[in-house]
Amino acid sequence: MTKLSLLAEAMVAGEYGPARRWAVEHQLQVGRMFDATDMVEVSQAHMMADPESIGLAGVELVERFSALPEDERRVAIPMITDPRGVDLDYYDPLGQTEEMADLERRFIKACRAMGIVMTNTCINYQTIMPPVRGDHVAYGDTGVVIYSNSICGARSNFEGGPSALAAGLTGFTPRYGLHLDDNRRATRRYRIQSQPTELTDWGVLGAVIGRRSGSYWEVPVIEGIERVPTSDEAKHMGAAMASYGSTPLFHIVGITPECDRLSDVDGERLPVEPITDDELKAFRGGFGAQGEKVDVVVFAAPQLSLVEMQRVAELCRGQKMHPNTAMLVCTPPSVYADARAAGYIRDIETFGARVLKGTCFYQQYAREIGEANGWVRLLSNSTKIVNILGGYGYKPALASMQSCVEAAVAGEVV
């Protein structure tokens, strides 16, 4: 890295303590890997750091930093967190051990000592100070990054847990990837043949485009979408696209902020690749399980917005879940409070489901939970989660939100 500010040089020299020295040294290594010439200031950081992912070593690192004097340990910019591995506020383990819960408690205590706000959400763009167009940020969760880049027009790379923590401590991050104008131009051009309707349709479309693109460095531009997607529809499309293709940015002609016209992202020079109805149907067919017993229905990945919580509550109201089926609903703490006040939590729990606050299913020891409860066949309306959970010992199936609730009542995929 050829350009380093006086502040960054002082941090490297240890003048701001060992935590910031570690942070800048980490960022210099990342910057060298991606040929960054300098750093860019960021306004926020969002860290993925559930204990299942970071383990004991990661928790101990944060604890060491949290024990430093206050002026050395506190983060330099607003910093928030991704979902946790255990819902500790209403602690009733699904299959997690006390050791797992204790690791969470230790990590949370250390984060709070550093000034990190425990928002425990993967939908901060719907709940907590969403970034604005041109805003440079350091975000971790893939769904957060693709939504913020694409729908908000902000600028972030996928920041791993250590990189997000480093950005929080320093207030900057290496200037590479999607912080640069050139890397935000379209590289693939897709045209759809029919319009997505409900959330799962948008997720399937995102998954197909992500799988086609297949690289972090590909930027899809999409033609043919005739109406502006809702925030939840865009959320499901982006989360699936990132899950299947490691895609951090997409454009929709006439809709997303950087692509009023195809030429705004240099898309007119690219050959058109049609997304056919047959391709979308074939994708859905890979996750069908009609008539099979359902062990667990999961609404998560991404966590549910207040609007989604309202819809789940409406579908559950006046019905009872099958005694041999479980249902889990994951939502951020801030949404949980509003959903409880509105009566949505009551309706969902009266149905027989569990609402988990500040967690997301695949980040809360999903394999151990499945083994503890004997869950194998899992049903969800999230295209992202069915992609992930096949690797955790489940047989996932995909359906609309309404069909998922119907299956929870019937005890089988309907």
Q: What is the pLDDT of residues 268-311, one digit of tens each?
A: 999 999 999 999 999 998 777 777 899 999 999 999 999 999 99
pTM above 0.85, yes or no: yes
Report DSSP state, residue 304: P
**Euclidean distance between CA atoms 325 and 322, whole angstroms:** 5
User: Which residues does residue 272 pair with via DSSP β-bridges, in sequence order?
Assistant: 189
CATH no., domain 296-410: 3.30.499.10
Peptide bond into 302 cis (omega under 30): yes
| pLDDT digit string, tens, across residues 162-208 | 999 999 999 999 999 999 999 999 999 999 999 999 999 999 999 99
pLDDT score, position 181: 97
Buried-state track 133-150, b at ≥16 Cβ within 10 A, e below 16 = eebbbbbbbbbbbbbbbb
Domain with CATH 3.30.499.10 in the chain: 6-178, 296-410
Q: Percentage of the chain with pLDDT > 70?
A: 99
Q: Which fold has domain 6-178?
A: Aconitase; domain 3 (3.30.499)
pLDDT score, position 328: 97
Tokens describing residue 74 = 């506190």
- Residue 270 · residue 186 · CB < 8 Å: yes
Tokens describing residue 106 = 């230790």
Residue 90 reports pLDDT greater than 90: no
Within its chain, how far is the Cα of 26 from the centroid? 23
Residue 352 reports pLDDT greater than 80: yes
